[in-house]
Amino acid sequence: MRLVFLGAPGVGKGTQADLIASRFHHPKISTGDILREAVRNKTPLGLEAKACMDRGTLVSDDIVVGIVREKLAEPGCTNGFLLDGFPRTVAQAEALAEMLKTRGQPLDRVINISVSREEVVRRLTGRRSCPKCQAVFHVELAPPQRGGICDRCGGELIQRSDDHKDTAESRLSVYEEQTAPLIAYYREAHVLSELNGLDPVEAVHHRLVSLLAASGLT
Ligand code: AMP
């Protein structure tokens, strides 16, 4: 199963990719998580990426393509992988196609998850994340059992700085300009599947599993 999860920030790509990853035992590669870890560890990569991430703009194609190239070369990715938050530009999609062509392993499906802009802003600004284990909660939609504490690992939840309203709005504009063109790109390549992300997480997950089954992937 070689999948890309496409969609605006806040549509639930990461959550759905996590559920598919644990159900079918495939690694999830989230460029956002990798970059945030690099920022926390103050690595050269993190120092370079931080300013873009704080502003809600995209990190350079060269950097993220390099990250994904390294990850895909790991043995765990031989039998499948889920890409979350990559590609985000046509140049990244072309670089990915080239990498996969070399491996003789084309993408199986690109899942485009969509919800309205209003709902996305509500989800982003209410989102709380665990910096230790990457679990994600929402103040109204999926509150943690003990306020501010991660249910999974006991870590202290934070609001990502780029989930504050102004940066969230900029990220959505960046998505419209640079990432949304990938919908047509993958539709033309006949690998695009559309998924409405408005329902509760479990309902969207079940529809996604059916969609993958209908595509012969389960
Ligand atoms: P995410 O967690 O996927 O919303 O990503 C958070 C931030 O990381 C984005 O706003 C970008 O600054 C950066 N980022 C993540 N993935 C990419 C990518 N594929 N291309 C460029 N920048 C990225």
- Domain borders along the chain are 2-205
pLDDT digits (tens, 9 = 90+) for 156-186: 999 998 999 999 999 999 999 999 999 999 9
**Does the beta carbon of 31 sit less than 6 angstroms from any atom of ligand 1?**
yes
Pairwise CA distance, residues 188 & 203, whole Å: 28
Please tell me whether the overall predicted TM-score, pTM, comes out greater than 0.85 for this model: yes
What is the arithmetic mean of pLDDT over 11-37?
Answer: 95
What is the arithmetic mean of pLDDT over 103-108?
Answer: 94
Residue 81: partners with Cβ closer than 8 Å, 6 or more residues away: 2, 3, 26, 27, 28, 29, 71, 72
Contact criterion met (CB below 8 Å) for 55 and 174: no
With a cut of 90, say whether residue 40 has pLDDT above it.
yes
The percent of residues in the chain predicted with pLDDT above 90, rounded, is 96
Residue (of 144, 145, 178) closest to 159 by Cα position: 144
What is the arithmetic mean of pLDDT over 131-155?
Answer: 94
With a cut of 90, say whether residue 218 has pLDDT above it.
no
What is the arithmetic mean of pLDDT over 208-215?
Answer: 96
Pairwise CA distance, residues 129 & 138, whole Å: 8
The percent of residues in the chain predicted with pLDDT above 70, rounded, is 100
pLDDT confidence of residue 203: 97
Instruction: Indicate which residue's Cα is closest to atom 6 of ligand 1.
Output: 32
What is the arithmetic mean of pLDDT over 6-34?
Answer: 96
Residue to substitute in 53, 94, 124 for testing ligand 1 pocket (most ligand atoms within 8 angstroms of CB): 53
Taking all residues of the chain, what is their mean pLDDT, rounded to a whole number? 95
What is the arithmetic mean of pLDDT over 206-217?
Answer: 95
Residue (of 15, 81, 92, 82) closest to 59 by Cα position: 92
Pairwise CA distance, residues 90 & 83, whole Å: 15
Burial of 119 (0-12, 13-18, 19+ CB in 10 A): middle
**Does the beta carbon of 52 sit less than 6 angstroms from any atom of ligand 1?**
yes
CB atoms < 10 A from the CB of 25, how many?
11
Residue to substitute in 4, 18, 31, 128 for testing ligand 1 pocket (most ligand atoms within 8 angstroms of CB): 31
The top-level CATH class assigned to 2-205 is alpha beta
Task: Cite the active site residues.
Answer: 13, 88, 127, 160, 171
What is the arithmetic mean of pLDDT over 113-134?
Answer: 94
